[in-house]
A and B are shown apart, each in its own frame.
Chain A
């Protein structure tokens, strides 16, 4: 309505037409889902956490119990590791796929996404059979005459890392693949013609054009891992707890207000991390990096 107020009468009709036909309106169905399935439940969770229980008590409990602070720290640590490793693997993978012929590309992309047709639970348990003591990995070690690993990658942070990287790889590889596809192959070629070494080509051309996508992939994997429950609870075991697992336990114990306080803490710390990350990126851009 504010848009209609100022311009002379001749433009009003046009402005209104633009207003009505604006593509932003296509977002309305999504907005409805967003409100119903995310915003409203989030507010309800806040209500449960703040009004149904004793907030002061619950927050004190959160801060005073070493378990929660430690698990929150570990949750961020694991999410960070998973995001770093996933992007580090997805980056060369995406570069590799994007340079194949169209037919091979299609095949490789299908292979990348086939695992996603299997449920997360099944995939976590597949890793259990591989990683656990006397599992597939130990069998292979035995065949090669190596000492058994005895579950060195099972029921600990390493187990979560392996399971989550496997789960997240397609999500990181896809935006990176898109970035490499968008990259005009003439650009590095031109740089090479002008005498740039491969390292310099990457540093000046390929890197700057693909790193924003790598950053996006990193954030995507990082956030998803922070809140994940199934894979960490199956592969992390009782010693490598992540916060999502503790939230679920509190809910099973019928302590919803405390589960809410834990969830809000995770959400808030995630938001703070994202803001810090954004500030850091802006600072890097200002000095010419990225």
Chain B
């Protein structure tokens, strides 16, 4: 007799599944249309009811954004801003929002050109009207006005080092980082998971490749160069761990984020930065396609270009702003240390937008290759 209910349950299960699948495919697929600023998002979603929603990373980064940009913006405009401080799943959630036709964020930030260009190409990010924003005539750092986003801050992969553990007065270059004979000692290095082409590219530069000739990356040569220091490599996983490795003297030198090294320096002034041969890239703000408040989002983006706010941000966290005028507002002792200091800047190099396009296409491959190398 129990057969009957069992079968009936199975029937209910299958029926439910058909209903769910039917409902979801019956809806018009919420594919972004590609026209920017078209805010026909369904009203009544929680994001629409509230104010401007911004998603970027948490920790000191998020706190600095809230203090330097969001608080003054709220004061000026009276607009309520909700800051969502978790960027680990930004791409995943953005794609999910788009698919559901319910975009929850008005502004996102925290990632580089290759990723956002890729997302923009797929219709997940709106095209920014830099003319309307006024950002095209502000003399921002090169490459800050892209169709997919507005430059937020510079990001450097620099050489961080313990001055006391190197010969007197030495300022090691990226080339020296790969030279164990001249500078013996442990090397701090990322374990991967984020823009995994950076260290292979720096290895190639240290091996004598001109930045202009880097793309397509010669993986074999890059990993051969990386192999030469692997015995001394100390790997870290997250940004905080990068600082810990240096603060606990587990490495003499590292290829590290400039901002993280400036933060570490506050706790241990033996830690110095060298920009010679360092990789410079840019982190962007972007507006999701179909963002519920895209007008306010543009207003917020414009407000981030204020040199005072950018200088405040640099003071809080160490990242250099894209508006050159912010540099003049920094305290003198910080000016000598930041990436945009003219002398520091002249030692750095950056990928061109064309090279970035290749990197975007090969990001997954780079991640795979780098992880393989680390875990081998």
- Chain B interface size band reads 35 or more
Q: In the complex, how many angstroms separate the beta carbon of A37 from the nearest chain B beta carbon?
A: 11
Number of A-B pairs, beta carbon distance below 8 Å: 115
The residues of B that contact A155 with a CB separation of less than 8 Å are 235, 237
Closest to B1 in A: A18
Interface residues of B in 76-120 (CB under 8 A from A): 88-92, 95, 115, 118-119
The answer on a CB contact under 8 Å between A254 and B119 is yes
Complex Cα spacing A18 to B363, Å: 60
**Quick one: which of A4, A24, A238 contacts B191, CB cutoff 8 A?**
A238
Interface string of A248-290 (1 = CB under 8 A from B): 0111111110100000000000000000000000000000000
The answer on a CB contact under 8 Å between B375 and A241 is yes
Q: In the complex, how many angstroms separate the beta carbon of A87 from the nearest chain B beta carbon?
A: 28
Provide the main secondary structure of the chain B interface. helix
The residues of A that contact B364 with a CB separation of less than 8 Å are 250, 253, 255, 258
Closest to A61 in B: B368
Known: A19-B1, A31-B12. A239 touches B6 (CB 8 A): no
**Quick one: which of B16, B115, B371 contacts A246, CB cutoff 8 A?**
B371
The answer on a CB contact under 8 Å between B2 and A22 is yes
The residues of B that contact A24 with a CB separation of less than 8 Å are 2, 5-6, 8-9
The answer on a CB contact under 8 Å between B91 and A67 is no
A189 at the interface (CB under 8 A from B): no
- Chain A interface size band reads 35 or more
The residues of A that contact B191 with a CB separation of less than 8 Å are 237-239
A101 at the interface (CB under 8 A from B): no
The residues of A that contact B375 with a CB separation of less than 8 Å are 67, 70-71, 238-241
Complex Cα spacing A15 to B237, Å: 63
Complex Cα spacing A133 to B247, Å: 12
**Quick one: which of A19, A32, A240, A249 contacts B367, CB cutoff 8 A?**
A249
Known: A22-B5, A238-B375, A239-B191. A252 touches B88 (CB 8 A): yes
A39 at the interface (CB under 8 A from B): yes
**Quick one: which of B2, B7, B91, B193 contacts A238, CB cutoff 8 A?**
B193
Interface residues of B in 322-375 (CB under 8 A from A): 363-364, 367-368, 371-372, 374-375
Complex Cα spacing A201 to B236, Å: 51
Known: A65-B372, A237-B237. A15 touches B1 (CB 8 A): yes
B122 at the interface (CB under 8 A from A): yes
Closest to B363 in A: A253
The residues of A that contact B374 with a CB separation of less than 8 Å are 238-239
Interface string of A148-178 (1 = CB under 8 A from B): 0000000100000000000000000000000
Q: Can you list 22 residue pairs at the A/B interface with Cβ under 8 Å?
A: A15-B4, A25-B9, A28-B9, A36-B20, A39-B17, A40-B24, A43-B17, A67-B372, A237-B191, A237-B235, A237-B237, A238-B192, A238-B236, A238-B237, A239-B235, A251-B89, A252-B90, A252-B193, A253-B363, A254-B95, A254-B115, A258-B364
Known A-B contacts: A28-B9, A31-B13, A35-B20. Give 20 more (CB < 8 A): A2-B7, A19-B8, A24-B2, A24-B8, A31-B12, A36-B20, A40-B24, A65-B368, A65-B372, A67-B368, A67-B371, A155-B235, A234-B237, A237-B236, A238-B192, A238-B193, A239-B191, A239-B374, A254-B91, A254-B118
Interface residues of B (CB under 8 A from A): 1-9, 12-13, 16-17, 20-21, 24, 88-92, 95, 115, 118-119, 122, 190-193, 235-237, 244, 248, 250, 363-364, 367-368, 371-372, 374-375
